[in-house]
Structure 1
Amino acid sequence: MLQIPSWKRILILAVCLFGIVSAAPNLFYGRVEAHNDAIAAAEKAGFETEAQAAARAAWPDWLPSGLVNLGLDLRGGAHLLAEVQLADVYKARMDALWPELRKALADERATVGAVRRAPSDPGVLRVQIGEPAAMTRALEIAASLATPVVSLTGIGQNDLAISAEGDQIVVTLSEAEKLATDNRTMQQSLEIIRRRVDEVGTREPTIQRQGSDRILIQVPGIGSAEELKALIGTTAQLGFHPVIARGSATGTVPGIGQVIYPSVEEKGLNYTLDAVPVVTGEELTDARPDFDQNGRPAVSFRFNPAGARKFGDYTAANIGQLFAIVLDAEVISAPVIQSHIPGGSGIITGNFTVESSTNLAVLLRAGALPAKMTFLEERTIGPELGQDSIDAGSVAALVGMAAVVFFMIASYGLFGVFATVALGINMALIFGVLSAIGGTLTLPGIAGIVLTIGMAVDANVLVFERIREELRTARGPARAIELGYQKAMSAIVDANITTFITATILFLAGSGPVRGFAVTLTVGIITSVFTAIYVTRLMLVFWFERRRPKTITV
């Protein structure tokens, strides 16, 4: 007999209600999106404007507000392919090694003689010693600065390759260290880009590594590729450098280990600085917009313990000296060190506006990119093109659904109507689940939904055909329906498990659009099995209990 316990009926109806209610906000997408954005902006700023309050009031707070995020091809946005200049990191490592090697060699000046840095290619450190006969000892000193490579593939190898050419020590990174450095640099770049993009509140960006030195960046909803480049392309490399000299002369060639940067505050003024900063932006733990003692916009900062110690030691030993604050190869401020600055906190002043100080704080807080990036490919996908994709996908889904509905009703009559109602609930469940998990819908994802529409009634077809077969054996209608579901179950489970495995492989092995297709297909498989086995059967039970037919026609 057809028997479904009351608790199971309530549970099935509750799941259907959840899907419909969770999917409903997508019918009012613009209003709900403005509501969510207003809440997020108010929480981030700590206060709510009148416009945000109006946007928030446009959708009741007590209703669900989860939405299906639209991918780049549906919403429009920016696409960038960036190449990370890994050679910059090699050069920075050699520049940072020079003071340490110079000090180590200077401790044995009586043996190796005078020491100076010789001109070399980027990524190569050449050190000339005064006593070539002591080259063996000099190489031993240089080798003592090497450390083991921190990677699984570099076990047992050192990070420095050291050799001698005449009276010069030649130091480069070993191949194992270069590989480990490349991986660290790419991972750090990915994380910093992700944090910068997240700071502006975009939804579901795609940020992933491609090849050995490239990063794919796709951000839906952003205005243009230029806007995205301005956000992530700014290096925000902050450094605190000792000042060697200052002047307005142009064309001056810096000495070895020195750089010349222009002043932002005073046009035509240049500073000659030590190339190696005392403290860098990587040692910052916090940066936020602030105001100086005169009420002008500024940026306050705080170092980690290591940075605070170096900052405090340097200021204590150089009272009365100029100390340049450098941002992206420009001196934004060069104050005189008035006193020892302990604690590792301070403030950056300059010609800031409130907006520019906020932007600078965001960039510093997200971290400095470890290397510059060259943009090889950039595209802006307008919202009109995204809307065209949505319209085309909607037409395809509606045509597919209309064809399925016509076939089911024409083939199975009233039972086909039950299957059609279950199909509508299935669509609501798909969008409800995607909204609840914050899933992203792409054009291939719409294709997955269209495919699900066809697959969703497949289980019903199996059940209805089995019921037909049971009716031919002159069994009663109740028993025929019961056996129809029992005997079709194995075929339904088998077909959907194999499809589920395929979708899982697509998700794990694919990326971008392929994953979007796999996600919607997987959710569709689960919801279609649920609606075919439970929802359609529950409607049949309600109908049968109400009508009590002596015979049925499928």
Structure 2
Amino acid sequence: MKIFNYRLIIFALSIIFGIVFSIPSLLQTDTGKKIALGLDLQGGLHMLLGVNTQEAVTSKIKTIATSVKYFSDDEELLIDGLSIDNDSVIFTLLDKDEVSKMDEMLNKIKGLAISRDELKYTLKLTAEDIAKTKDLAVVQAVETIRNRLDQFGLSEPSVLRQGDTDIVVELPGIKTAEDEKAARELISKPANLELMAVNEDKNDQVYTMTSSQAAAYGDIILEDTKNSKIKYLVKEIPILNGSQVIDAQVAFDQSNQAIINFTLNSTGARIFGEFTSKNVGKRLAVVLDGKVYSAPNIRERIGGGSGQISGGFTVQEAGNVAIALRSGALPATVTLLEKRSVGPSLGADSIKASSIALVSGFALVFVFMIIYYRRAGIVANIALVANIFIIIAVMAMFGATLTLPGMAGIVLTIGMAVDSNVIITERIREVLHEGASVAKALEDGYSNAMRAIIDSNITTLLAAMILYAYGTGPIKGFAITISIGILTSMLTAILGTHGMYEALLPKITRDKNLKKWFGVN
């Protein structure tokens, strides 16, 4: 047997990898990838949010109205009095010969209750679709908030649904008032972008007009984001909304002010191009969350499906709005119901208690292996130490977050890793009892132990995968730690110790002292 074998070389490279990439986490250096600590270990912000699901229903009604308007314009159908009233879309079709074409389009919209009195249409959502829309609003809010926080750069935020309309958000590492404010604004910002036509014929009356009077014309009154005294009269049915936005990036105008450039999908680009070609000389209001950011004149047809939002943004504000637009608008507004800060003292206590458990468990296993298995126990302990370094390194490389259950997973992994070594060593001892040579015992011992080790590890890995798929928050962290631990323990226990035994085989054969090497007479 050669002293340097491929198993030992792979094991040595794994140890080097583990030590190098775990140093930033263990020493908390300024450079290098480190394991992020969860809310239960380093403290942070805990928030309970409520979703106004009724707004999602109203938004869907508005989307249906937009679809009716676009279809009518595209097919050159004449309609009159298109408006929204009490979660209903009302309009009158002027040509009875076009009823079949309109009915065909409306029947394609799922969950729509359609009633028609001659040529007057009233569109409502069915009770089943209203319930489905409200439920989907919460699901979409969870995904949207999670996407925003991921793009914001927060480490492993936890965003979970609670009950029918509430969402629990946990943000590790939020410790300053500035960070808390930025996170709360990013979470709660609806980012509802709409492109709306300004009613040029009656806009000069906007300062003397009431909301009900505006509604009679199918319009709404909106304020300017910079100056609340400036108002605009815009068509209630938007030309486009944020659902057509596929990208948004921060840029700077000629005066070096932060602006947001947005890009529309193919459908949005086509609608935008057709609208601007038919409305040259009129104004188009860029509305974000119910405020008019700009209302430029349309000088020519705007193709390419891109636009711009300018409104005196700071760079940070523009960045947050761009993130919100990219991740999608919230289907309904969210309200902060409860907020509490988790202090770092809790994290320090948790780390201390978990560290004691980790070190104690490791020390007991370490001592037991040496006493019972002698030098074979030392070989197993070397693999055990390597296993811990590799787990930390892999978690750091992938930017994983360590939580209290995750630390419990590491403690459990120690026991699982040493269990594989126990099985291997016992199989070696059984063959030695039969009088076989050391080389034969090593080969048969690993061969006989392999099936039991692989079977037990695969079943545990499957259980961890199920925990990760269906678990939430800390349960996922536990599943990730266990999964990494299983894979690394197979590397160290099967490959690593086998390589060490192959390197030590000449010395073991010369010594002829099986008691000293394997704890067996």
TM-score range, shorter chain: 0.7 to 0.9
- The 1:311–1:24 alpha-carbon spacing in structure 2 relative to 1, beyond 3 Å, is same
CA distance in 1, matches of 2:198, 2:373: 87
Once residues 66 and 244 of structure 2 are traced to their aligned partners in structure 1, the CA distance between those partners, rounded to angstroms, is 19
Partner amino acid, structure 2, of 1:163: S
The alpha-carbon deviation at position 116 of structure 1 amounts to 4.0
In structure 1, what residue type is equivalent to 2:292?
Answer: V
Q: 1:19 to 1:99 in 2, by over 3 A?
A: closer
Alignment of structure 1 residues 411-490 onto 2, 5 Å: 411-473=372-434, 479-490=440-451
SS in 1 for 2:215: coil
Q: Give 1:77's match in structure 2, choosing from 40, 44, 50.
A: 44
Structure 1 equivalent of residue 495 of structure 2: 534
Partner of residue 234, structure 1: 189
CA gap 1:210/1:30 in 2 versus in 1, 3 angstroms: farther
1:549, distance to aligned residue in structure 2 (A)? 1.0
Is 1:519 the counterpart of 2:462 in the alignment?
no
Conserved? CA contact 2:211–2:220, under 8 Å: no
Cα offset for 1:239?
A: 2.1
Question: Aligned with 2:222: secondary structure?
Answer: strand
Q: What residue is the counterpart of 2:104 in the other structure?
A: 144
Alignment of 1:22-41 (within 5 A): 22-32=21-31
Matches of 1:462 and 1:20, distance apart in 2: 27
Please give the alpha-carbon distance, in whole angstroms, between the structure 2 residues aligned to 1:99 and 1:25: 54
Residue 138 to residue 551, structure 1, CA distance change in 2 (3 Å): same
Kindly indicate whether residue 85 of structure 2 is the aligned counterpart of residue 125 of structure 1: no
- CA distance change for structure 1 residues 400 and 143 in 2, over 3 Å: closer, same or farther? same
Aligned to 1:265: 226
Report the alpha carbon displacement of residue 430 of structure 1 after superposing the two structures with TM. 1.7
2:310 maps to 1:349: yes
2:157 to 176, 201, 205: 205
Is 1:492 matched up with 2:453? Answer: yes
> Counterparts in 2 of 1:321-360, with a 5 A limit?
321-338=282-299, 340-360=301-321
The alignment partner of 1:351 has SS state of strand
1:283 aligns with 2:244: yes
CA separation of 1:276 and 1:431: change in aligned 2, threshold 3 A: same
CA distance in 1, matches of 2:207, 2:492: 78
1:260 to 1:30, Cα distance in 2 relative to 1, 3 A: farther
CA distance in 2, matches of 1:285, 1:324: 20
The alignment covers a number of residue pairs equal to 504
Q: Which residue of the partner structure matches residue 215 of structure 2?
A: 255
Q: CA deviation at 1:362?
A: 3.6
Instruction: Mark the CA change 1:217 to 1:143 in structure 2 (over 3 Å): closer, same or farther.
Output: farther
* Partner-residue secondary structure (3-state), 1:532: helix
2:65, 2:84 within 8 Å by CA — same for their partners in 1? no
3-state SS of 2:472 partner? coil
Quote the Cα distance in structure 2 between the aligned partners of 1:367 and 1:409: 58
| Residue of structure 1 equivalent to 2:10 | 11
1:368 maps to 2:329: yes
Q: Tell me, in whole angstroms, the C-alpha distance in 2 between the residues paired with 1:546 and 1:100.
A: 82
| Aligned equivalent of 1:95 | 62
Distance 2:310 2:116 in 1: 46
Closer/same/farther in 2, CA of residues 497 and 514 from structure 1, 3 Å limit: same
**Residues 203-212 or 84-93, more deviating:** 203-212
Stretch deviating more after TM superposition (140-149 or 432-441): 140-149
| Deviation of the 1:130 alpha carbon | 11
Distance across 1 between alignment mates of 2:310 and 2:129: 39
- Does 2:178 correspond to 1:221? no
Cα distance, 1:452 vs. partner? 1.5
The answer to whether the Cα contact below 8 Å between 2:2 and 2:503 also exists between their aligned partners in 1 is no
Equivalent position amino acid for 1:532 in 2: A
Alpha-carbon distance in structure 2 between the residues aligned to 1:470 and 1:349: 79
Whether the 8 Å contact between 2:465 and 2:479 is mirrored in structure 1 is yes
Structure 2: tracts of 5 or more residues without a match: none
SS in 2 for 1:31: coil
CA distance in structure 2 between the aligned counterparts of 1:513 and 1:306, rounded to whole angstroms: 41
Deviation digits for residues 200-221 of structure 1 (CA, Å, limit 9, x no counterpart): 2223334455666555544433
Q: Is the 8 A contact 2:48 2:169 kept in 1?
A: yes
Q: Deviations over 1:72-95 (max 9, x none)?
A: 323433344544444323323333
Whether 2:173 is the aligned partner of 1:173: answer no
Q: CA deviation at 1:399?
A: 1.0
C-alpha distance in structure 2 between counterparts of 1:551 and 1:408, whole Å? 18
Deviation at 1:426, TM superposition (A): 1.5
Question: Residues of 2 paired with 1:523 and 1:340: CA distance?
Answer: 56
Does structure 1 retain, via aligned residues, the 8 Å contact 2:152–2:323? no
The alpha carbon displacement at 1:185 in A equals 5.1
> How far apart are residue 117 of structure 1 and its match?
6.1
Q: Secondary structure at the match of 2:313?
A: coil
Q: Look up the match of 1:153.
A: none
In 2, the alpha carbon distance for the partners of 1:107 and 1:309 equals 16
| Per-residue Cα deviation, 1:134-176 (whole angstroms, up to 9, x for no partner) | 9xx9986763332436xxxxxxxx4421135899743212456
Q: Is the 8 A contact 1:147 1:159 kept in 2?
A: no
SS at match of 1:457: helix
CA distance in structure 2 between the aligned counterparts of 1:504 and 1:107, rounded to whole angstroms:
55
Instruction: State the identity %.
Output: 36
2:20 match: 21
Question: 2:487 & 2:36 partners in 1: Cα distance?
Answer: 20
Residue 118 of structure 1 contacts residue 128 of structure 1 at CA under 8 Å; is this kept in 2?
A: no
The question of whether the paired residues in 1 share the 8 Å contact of 2:245 and 2:263 is answered with: yes
Q: Which whole-Å CA distance do the structure 1 matches of 2:457 and 2:131 have between them?
A: 44
Greater Cα shift, 426-435 or 541-550: 541-550
> In the alignment, is the contact (CA less than 8 A) between 1:456 and 1:525 conserved in 2?
yes
Residues 1:504 and 2:465 aligned together: yes
What code does the residue aligned with 1:394 have?
A: S
Highest relative contact order (Cα 8 Å, sep 6+), 1 or 2?
2
Partner SS for 1:262: strand
Distance verdict in 2 for CA 1:186–1:450, change over 3 Å = same
* Distance in 2 (alpha carbons) for counterparts of 1:263 and 1:281: 19
Pair 1:273–1:411, CA change in 2 (3 A): same
Please state how far the C-alpha of 1:278 moved relative to its aligned partner.
2.3
Aligned equivalents of 1:12, 1:104: Cα separation in 2: 70
What is the rounded CA distance, in whole Å, between the counterparts of 1:504 and 1:447 in structure 2? 17
Distance between the aligned counterparts of 1:313 and 1:138, measured in 2? 22
- Matched to 2:124, the amino acid is T
Separation (CA, whole Å) in 2 of partners of 1:467 and 1:312: 77
Using the TM superposition, give the Cα deviation of residue 225 of structure 1 relative to its aligned residue in structure 2, in angstroms: 5.4
Residue 430 and residue 352 in structure 1: after superposition, are their counterparts in 2 closer, same or farther (change >3 A)? closer
Cα deviation, residue 310, structure 1: 3.7
| Secondary structure of 2:198's aligned partner | strand
CA distance in structure 2 between the aligned counterparts of 1:407 and 1:278, rounded to whole angstroms: 74
Question: What one-letter code is carried by the residue in structure 2 that aligns with 1:24?
Answer: I
The correspondence of residues 292-331 of structure 1 with structure 2, limited to 5 A, is 292-331=253-292
Q: Equivalent residue of 2:325, what SS?
A: helix
Deviation larger for 384-393 or 416-425: 384-393
Looking at structure 2, the residues matched to 471 and 96 of structure 1 have their Cα atoms a distance apart, in angstroms, of 78
2:360 is matched with 399
Segments of structure 1 that go 5 or more residues without pairing to the other structure are 33-64, 150-157
